[in-house]
Amino acid sequence: MKGDPSRLVRAHYETLVDARTGKPLVKDYLLFVGLPLAVGIYCGPIEKVKLPAAASAGLLTVAGLLSAFLFGVMLQVSQRAMDWADTDPTPSKDVSRHAQFLRELAANAGYATLVSLVASGLFVVAAVTSKTMLVVFSSIGLAITVHLATVLLMVMQRVFALTEGRLKIAQTGAGAGADVKHLPNRKAG
């Protein structure tokens, strides 16, 4: 089915592994799953948070704008990958690393888009409901928002790492593993 997001979700969660060992990173799962779950439980059953309709509408607007922006990011990564593949790069460790960065960035941006859409839906319901259902949708919406924030931080970190790696290559004229001790305020490699 073309509308099935499961492949995108799997691709995103496959990025939560140690690059050296390939094993899942417990710290990442605690941050991306545990923290939002804790926020949801705290806001729901414990504090019984009820978002006012105006707050739900505001969060809906932010989540909707983010989904549009993140979809654009995903399209840009796709275009970059296609343009780069058209240059027929010579297979190497650096090329594989760059391809993996692009693949993971696309997965993370696509997943963040999906989460933004889910958050938008939750805030629509929270804006028009009341009583117990307001607590349920408010707490789930806030938990999803925390999850989205952690995913966005990861996307920003990956974009920065990719940019920094490419700039090191441009500055040194060598591969990503080049000795860059001469660059100001940077560690080697």
User: Which pLDDT does position 47 carry in this prediction?
Assistant: 96
Residue 116 to residues 12, 47, 111, 143, 145, Cα–Cα distance (Å): 14, 24, 9, 12, 8
Higher pLDDT, 101 or 2: 101
Read off the pLDDT band of 185 (50, 70, 90).
very low
pLDDT of residue 71: 93
pLDDT at 76: 93
CB 109, CB 77: distance < 8 Å: yes
Q: How would residue 187 be classed by pLDDT, with cut points 50, 70 and 90?
A: very low
146-159 pLDDT, tens digit each = 999 999 998 888 88
C-alpha closest to that of 99 among 78, 113, 114: 78
Residue 174, pLDDT score: 67
Token readout for 128 is 């028009």
**What's the pLDDT score for residue 183?**
41
User: pLDDT, tens digit, for every residue of 77-134?
Assistant: 999 999 999 999 999 988 888 898 889 889 999 999 999 999 999 999 999 998 899 9
pLDDT value of position 179: 47
End-to-end Cα distance, the chain: 43
Q: Is the pLDDT of residue 178 over 60?
A: no
Summarize pLDDT for 13-48 with one digit per residue, the tens. Answer: 998 888 788 898 899 999 999 999 999 999 999 999
